[in-house]
Amino acid sequence: MSGVKKLRTDLNRSTNVVYQAHHVSRNKRGQVVGTRGGFRGCTIWLTGLSGAGKTTISFALEEYLVSHAIPCYSLDGDNIRHGLNKNLGFSDEDREENIRRVAEVAKLFADAGLVCITSFISPFTKDRNEARKIHESAGLKFFEVFVHASLEVCESRDVKGLYKKARAGEIKGFTGIDSDYERPEAAELVLKTGELTVNECIHQLLELLQDQNIVPSEVMEEVNELFVPENKLTLAVADASALPTISITKLDLQWVQILAEGWASPLKGFMREREFLQVLHFGNLLDGGAINMSVPIVLPVSTETKQELDGCAAVALEYQGSRVAILRNPEFYAHRKEERCARQWGTTCPQHPYIKMVMEGGDWLVGGDLEVLERIKWNDGLDQYRLTPKELKQKFKDMQADAIFAFQLRNPVHNGHALLMQDTKRRLLERGYKKPVLLLHPLGGWTKDDDVPLSWRMRQHAAVLDEGILDPSSTIVAIFPSPMMYAGPTEVQWHCRARMIAGANFYIVGRDPAGLTHPVTKQDLYEPTHGGKVLTMAPGLTSVEIIPFRVAAYNKTKKAMDFYSPECHTDFEFISGTKMRNLAQGGENPPDGFMAPKAWKVLVEYYSSTQKNN
DSSP H or E segment with residue 60: helix 54-67
Write down the pLDDT at residue 29: 56
Give the pLDDT confidence of 23-62 residue by residue, as tens digits: 556 565 555 565 555 788 999 999 999 888 998 899 889 8
DSSP one-letter code for 573: E
CA–CA dist 503, 396 (Å, integer):
8
Q: Please state, for a pLDDT cut of 90, what percent of the chain lies above it.
A: 66
CB burial of residue 192 (10 Å; 0-12, 13-18, 19+):
middle
First-to-last alpha carbon distance for the chain, in angstroms, is 97
**pLDDT higher than threshold 80 for residue 397:** yes
CB < 8 Å & 24+ apart, contacts of 237-240: 237/323, 237/373, 239/314, 239/326, 240/316, 240/323, 240/325, 240/326, 240/373
**pLDDT higher than threshold 60 for residue 287:** yes
Answer for the pair 305, 279: CB distance below 8 angstroms, yes or no.
no
Q: Please state, for a pLDDT cut of 70, what percent of the chain lies above it.
A: 93
Q: pTM for the complete prediction?
A: 0.77
Give the pLDDT confidence of 524-542 residue by residue, as tens digits: 999 999 999 999 889 888 6
Answer for the pair 68, 543: CB distance below 8 angstroms, yes or no.
yes
Write down the pLDDT at residue 36: 55
Write down the pLDDT at residue 172: 81
Partners of residue 192 on adjacent β-strands? 148
Average pLDDT of the segment spanning 193-203: 87
**pLDDT higher than threshold 60 for residue 331:** yes
The CA angle 501-503-506, to the nearest 5 degrees, is 105
Question: Residue 70, Cα to own-chain centre: how many angstroms?
Answer: 15
Helix axis angle, 198-211 relative to 54-67, nearest 10°? 60
